[in-house]
C-alpha cells in the first residue's frame, strides 16, 4: 500500500457527514493538517438524505395546506395538486446550494478531501483507493443507514426506506408508516399535506415516544384532526404484497393495507467490514463505544455522530466533531450534556424540547420535588394569528431550576434556542420572567409560561 509524506496527517477522518466535516473544519482552524475521506457526497446523510430534504418536503406540504386553507384568512386560493417533479426541483436546489457552499468551505480551509471508500487499516491509518493515509489520530464518522426488521425486506418499490421516500416520483394514494418516531411522523405529516391517506404503526404506547408524554398526546390529537390514523401499543408482525400494494399484520392479528409501506424504525450504524473490530475497537451491536470525550478504547481513535450510541442528530454530530478537534489541538473542551441538546420534530404541528421529561425528572429528583406548568397557546396572540394550537410545558425542580421545556405547535421549533439557554444555564423561573419578550411573538409564550411558573401570570389564569 502506497504511502508518502503527502499522505501523513495530524488527523485522518473517515466519513464526511455532519460529525466528520465539523471536526475537519475546526481542526484545520486550529492548525492541524487534516484529511477527510468520504465515499459519497460531502455533507452525508443530513444534507443529502435526511435533515435538509425532509424539511424541504415538509415546507412544500405547508404551502399545500396554506393553499387549501386560504379562505380562513380571507384569501381566495385553491389547491390543484402536487407536482412532484417541481417539489424535487425545489428540494434539490436547496441541497445543491448548500453542497456547493460546503465544498468551497472545505477547500478554503486547506483540508485534503479524499473521495473514495475508506477502510481502517490500523490504529493510525486509513486505506482508500489503493492509497494509505496515515494520521497521528483517526476519527471515525461513518454515520448510519435506515434499519429494517428481520424478515422485512425493503425492495425500494412497495416497501421503502426514507431514502426511497425522498425521491418518490408521486404522491402515494395511501401509505403505512412503520414507526412513530421522528422520521415516521415527519413523512406521515408531509404525505398527508400532499393528500395521501396515512396510517402510522407504532409498537410503543405513544407517537414520538422519546418526548414528554404530554407532547405525544398533543401531537396525537392534532394528527387525528388532520385525518392521520395510527395504531399504538401493538408491534409489527409481517408484511406481504397484495394485488396493488402491501398488507401489514400486527402481532394481535390486525391488518392494514396501503399502496406503500415506509419502514421508519430508526437508523443503524455503518461499521461492518470497515476494519473496526480488527483494530481492537470496543463495539456494541455495530455501534462504536466511546467515553464522554468521544474517545474509543484505542488511544489513537475517536468516533462521533450516528456511529456512536448518542442522539442521532446532525447538530450532535457537529458538537462531537468540534469536541474531538479541540481536544486533539490541546484545548480543554467540556463533555456534551446530551439532555441539553435541543430536539425538534418538524411535522405539523412541530414538537420541540430540551432537557428532561416530567417522568425522568421524577425518577431523578423524586415525584414530590418536581413542579410542572402547561401554558396553552390559545392565549398567545401570534399563535392565534397563525391558527395554531398547542402548549408549552415547563418542568422544574421545586424551588430550583427549569430542567425541561416541551413545546408543541407550528413554528415552535424556532423557539428552542431560548429554551436551551434556559436549561443549560440552569435558569430559575423568576430569572426568565424578568426578561422582556417581544409582543406579539410565539417567543412571548415562553416568557408567559415562566411568568406563570414564577407565580405572577399575565395573560393566563392562576
The pLDDT tens digits of the residues spanning 245-277 come to: 999 999 999 999 999 999 999 999 999 999 999
Catalytic residue of the set 164, 406, 439, 450 = 439
The predicted structure's pLDDT at residue 47: 94
Identify whether 450 is a catalytic site residue: no
The predicted structure's pLDDT at residue 7: 80
Axis-axis angle for helices 18-29, 84-108 (nearest 10) = 30
Confidence of residue 410 (pLDDT cuts 50, 70, 90): very high
The predicted structure's pLDDT at residue 6: 67
- Strand-pairing partners, residue 113, are 36
Average pLDDT, the chain: 96
The predicted structure's pLDDT at residue 103: 96
The predicted structure's pLDDT at residue 389: 94
Task: Spell out the residues 6+ positions from residue 450 whose beta carbon is closer than 8 angstroms to its own.
Answer: 394, 402, 422, 429, 432, 433
Q: For residue range 364-385, what is the model confidence (pLDDT) as tens digits? A: 999 999 999 999 999 999 999 9
pLDDT at 127 over 60: yes
Mean pLDDT, range 406-435, rounded to an integer = 97
The predicted structure's pLDDT at residue 331: 97
Confidence of residue 137 (pLDDT cuts 50, 70, 90): very high
Question: Measured between alpha carbons, how far apart are the two ends of the chain, in Å?
Answer: 73
Helices then strands, counting H and E runs in the chain, come out as 13, 24
The predicted structure's pLDDT at residue 459: 82
Q: For residue range 216-246, what is the model confidence (pLDDT) as tens digits? A: 999 999 999 999 999 999 999 999 999 999 9
The predicted structure's pLDDT at residue 458: 87
The predicted structure's pLDDT at residue 320: 98
Confidence of residue 3 (pLDDT cuts 50, 70, 90): low
Mean pLDDT, range 41-64, rounded to an integer = 96
Percent of the chain at pLDDT exceeding 90: 97
Report the SS3 class of residue 217: helix
pLDDT at 152 over 70: yes
pLDDT at 460 over 80: no
Confidence of residue 4 (pLDDT cuts 50, 70, 90): low
Residue in this structure with the C-alpha cell 464526511, named with its chain if needed: 16
User: Among 1-10, 59-68, 74-83, which stretch is predicted with the lowest mean pLDDT?
Assistant: 1-10
Please report, for residues 228, 239, 292, 316, the alpha-carbon distance to residue 323 in angstroms, rounded to integers and kept in the order given.
41, 43, 10, 10
Cα R_g (the chain), whole angstroms? 24
Q: What are phi and psi of 103, to 5 degrees?
A: -60, -45
Q: For residue range 288-332, what is the model confidence (pLDDT) as tens digits? A: 999 999 999 999 999 999 999 999 999 999 999 999 999 999 999
The predicted structure's pLDDT at residue 124: 97
The predicted structure's pLDDT at residue 168: 96
Amino acid at each position: 500500500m502506497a504511502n508518502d509524506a503527502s499522505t501523513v496527517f495530524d488527523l485522518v477522518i473517515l466519513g464526511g457527514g455532519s460529525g466528520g466535516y465539523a471536526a475537519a473544519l475546526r481542526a484545520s482552524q486550529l492548525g492541524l493538517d487534516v484529511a477527510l475521506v468520504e465515499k459519497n457526497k460531502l455533507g452525508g446523510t443530513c444534507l443529502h438524505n435526511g435533515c435538509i430534504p425532509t424539511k424541504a418536503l415538509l415546507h412544500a406540504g405547508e404551502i399545500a395546506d396554506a393553499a387549501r386553507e386560504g379562505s380562513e384568512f380571507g384569501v381566495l386560493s385553491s389547491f390543484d395538486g402536487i407536482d412532484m417533479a417541481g417539489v424535487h426541483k425545489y428540494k434539490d436546489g436547496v441541497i445543491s446550494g448548500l453542497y456547493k457552499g460546503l465544498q468551497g468551505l472545505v477547500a478554503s480551509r486547506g483540508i485534503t478531501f479524499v473521495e473514495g471508500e475508506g477502510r481502517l487499516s490500523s490504529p493510525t491509518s486509513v486505506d482508500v483507493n489503493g492509497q494509505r493515509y496515515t494520521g497521528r489520530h483517526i476519527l471515525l464518522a461513518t454515520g448510519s443507514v435506515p434499519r429494517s426488521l428481520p424478515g422485512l425486506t425493503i425492495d425500494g418499490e412497495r416497501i421503502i426506506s426514507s431514502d426511497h421516500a425522498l425521491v418518490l416520483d408521486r404522491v402515494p394514494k395511501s401509505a403505512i408508516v412503520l414507526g412513530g418516531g421522528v422520521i415516521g411522523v415527519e413523512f406521515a405529516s408531509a404525505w398527508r399535506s400532499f393528500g395521501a391517506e396515512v396510517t402510522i404503526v407504532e409498537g410503543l404506547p405513544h407517537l414520538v415516544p422519546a418526548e414528554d408524554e404530554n407532547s405525544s398526546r398533543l401531537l396525537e390529537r392534532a394528527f387525528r384532526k388532520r385525518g392521520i390514523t395510527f395504531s399504538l401499543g401493538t408491534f409489527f408482525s409481517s408484511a406481504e404484497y397484495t394485488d396493488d400494494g402491501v398488507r401489514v399484520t400486527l402481532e394481535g392479528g390486525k391488518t392494514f393495507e396501503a399502496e406503500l409501506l415506509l419502514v421508519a424504525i430508526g437508523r443503524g450504524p455503518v461499521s461492518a467490514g470497515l476494519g473496526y473490530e480488527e483494530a481492537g475497537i470496543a463495539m456494541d451491536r455495530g455501534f462504536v463505544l466511546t467515553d464522554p470525550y468521544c474517545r474509543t478504547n484505542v488511544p489513537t481513535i475517536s468516533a462521533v455522530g450516528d456511529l456512536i450510541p448518542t442522539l442521532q442528530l446532525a447538530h450532535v454530530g457537529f458538537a462531537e466533531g468540534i469536541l474531538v478537534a479541540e481536544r486533539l489541538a490541546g484545548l480543554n473542551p467540556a463533555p456534551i450534556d446530551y439532555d441539553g441538546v435541543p430536539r425538534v420534530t418538524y411535522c405539523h404541528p412541530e414538537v420541540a424540547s430540551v432537557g428532561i421529561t416530567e417522568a425522568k425528572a421524577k425518577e431523578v429528583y423524586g415525584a414530590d420535588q418536581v413542579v410542572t406548568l402547561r401554558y396553552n397557546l390559545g392565549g398567545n396572540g401570534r399563535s392565534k394569528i397563525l391558527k395554531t394550537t398547542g402548549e408549552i410545558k415547563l418542568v422544574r425542580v421545586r424551588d430550583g431550576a427549569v430542567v425541561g421545556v416541551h413545546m408543541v405547535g407550528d413554528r415552535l421549533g424556532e423557539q428552542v434556542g431560548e429554551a436551551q439557554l434556559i436549561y443549560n444555564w440552569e435558569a430559575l423561573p423568576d430569572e426568565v420572567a424578568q426578561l422582556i419578550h417581544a409582543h406579539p411573538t410565539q417567543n412571548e409564550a415562553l416568557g408567559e409560561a415562566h411568568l406563570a411558573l414564577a407565580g405572577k401570570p399575565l395573560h393566563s389564569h392562576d
